[in-house]
């Protein structure tokens, strides 16, 4: 991934006490960062606001996370925006989220053009309201030729459903004689997930202190480093992002092997 180091230094110039971009090894920035954006409701409730206002504030934090990822030279940023379980929320909150997805995407298209960001979606989009689906398709079409960072939004996403869908596709291809059962290996499954062609996440960030995966990327997170922060999603800044990367670089990733000296 191409990175403009001057732009990055300017972006991180006003560092708070004890935190510095100089402590980050720019040669070891994770390729794929994934985020479970959690705590919007609590952020709003703590301010005496409707939960939905937390999602509105969450959009600003998401825009900052996209910009930060681009500045850092991350190849893929993926975020969990709406799970298959989130339909159980009050109807007005679901409606607001669907509206927010559509309006935000339209509003942010210039940013995606300017930063050469390619949009992707993980999840079953067929169940979304038509307006949201149309805007998502527009986002996909308009950014398809972009060669910079991939920004993937998981919407109506559930990992078990994703794996079942891949299994169904494998079964269909075997039944149709397009694939031999002996060729059904890890690669065959990976290639049929929403994340096909993308590297697995190196780092998963979850906000609001929860220690759960919530049916998110269960297959893809097999060797991913986890970073949990107490910050609620609307409060998550480029500084929290930097803290996460510094923690990531302090870990030793062994992928089941031994530490090499
Ligand atoms: C989790 O917080 C957040 C969500 C389910 C929605 C995430 C959506 C956004 C940040 C808006 C993003 C907009 C676009 C365009 C993708 P929660 O509601 O579960 O918070 P809680 O745990 O405090 O109740």
How many other C-beta atoms are found inside a 10 Å radius of the C-beta of residue 111?
A: 14
Averaged pLDDT for residues 234-252: 96
How many angstroms is it from 244 CA to the middle of ligand 1? 20
116 is known as an active-site residue: no
Closest CA to 195 of 120, 132, 145: 120
How many angstroms is it from 249 CA to the middle of ligand 1? 27
pLDDT for 9: 97
pLDDT for 33: 98
How many angstroms is it from 9 CA to the middle of ligand 1? 30
Tokens 């949990």 label which residue?
228
Judged against a pLDDT cut of 70, whether residue 92 lies above it is answered with yes
Sort residue 48 into left (φ over 0), alpha (ψ -120 to 50) or beta. left
**Which one of the listed residues 50, 86, 191, 235 is annotated catalytic?**
86
Judged against a pLDDT cut of 90, whether residue 115 lies above it is answered with yes
pLDDT for 112: 98
Q: What is the mean pLDDT of the chain?
A: 96
Per-residue pLDDT of 157-203, as tens digits, reads 999 999 999 999 999 999 999 999 999 999 999 999 999 999 999 99
215 is known as an active-site residue: no
Judged against a pLDDT cut of 90, whether residue 1 lies above it is answered with no
Judged against a pLDDT cut of 80, whether residue 148 lies above it is answered with yes
Closest CA to 83 of 110, 122, 49, 57: 122
Per-residue pLDDT of 102-114, as tens digits, reads 999 999 999 999 9
Name the band, by pLDDT with cuts 50, 70 and 90, for residue 255: confident
Q: Which protein residue has the closest C-alpha to ligand 1 atom 8?
A: 81
Phi, psi (5° rounding) for residue 155? -130, 130
Ligand 1, residues at Cβ distance < 6 Å: 37-42, 55, 58-59, 62, 81-82, 86, 100-101, 104-105, 153, 208, 233
Q: For residues 158-169, b (16+ Cβ closer than 10 Å) or e, as one string? A: bbeebeeebeeb
**Which one of the listed residues 4, 5, 22, 38 is annotated catalytic?**
38
């Amino acid at each position: 991934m191409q990175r403009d180091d001057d732009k990055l230094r300017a972006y991180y110039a006003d560092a708070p006490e004890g935190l510095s971009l100089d402590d980050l090894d720019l040669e070891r920035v994770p390729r794929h960062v994934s985020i479970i954006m959690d705590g919007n409701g609590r952020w709003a409730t703590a301010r005496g606001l409707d939960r939905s206002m937390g999602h509105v504030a969450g959009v600003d934090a998401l825009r900052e996370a996209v910009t930060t990822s681009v500045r850092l030279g991350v190849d893929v940023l993926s975020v969990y925006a709406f799970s298959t379980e989130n339909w159980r929320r009050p109807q007005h909150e679901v409606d607001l989220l669907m509206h927010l997805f559509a309006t935000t995407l339209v509003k942010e298209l210039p940013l995606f053009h300017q930063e050469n960001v390619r949009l992707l979606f993980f999840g079953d989009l067929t169940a979304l309201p038509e307006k949201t689906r149309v805007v998502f398709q527009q986002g996909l079409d308009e950014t398809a030729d972009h060669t910079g960072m991939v920004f993937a939004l998981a919407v109506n996403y559930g990992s078990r459903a994703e794996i079942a869908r891949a299994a169904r596709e494998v079964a269909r291809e075997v039944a149709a004689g397009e694939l031999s059962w002996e060729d059904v290996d890890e690669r065959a499954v990976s290639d049929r997930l929403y994340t096909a062609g993308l590297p697995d996440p190196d780092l998963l960030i979850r906000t609001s202190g929860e220690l759960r995966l919530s049916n998110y990327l269960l297959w893809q997170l097999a060797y991913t480093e986890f970073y949990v922060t107490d910050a609620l999603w609307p409060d998550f800044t480029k500084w929290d992002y930097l803290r996460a990367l510094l923690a990531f670089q302090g870990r030793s990733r062994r992928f089941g092997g031994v530490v090499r000296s």
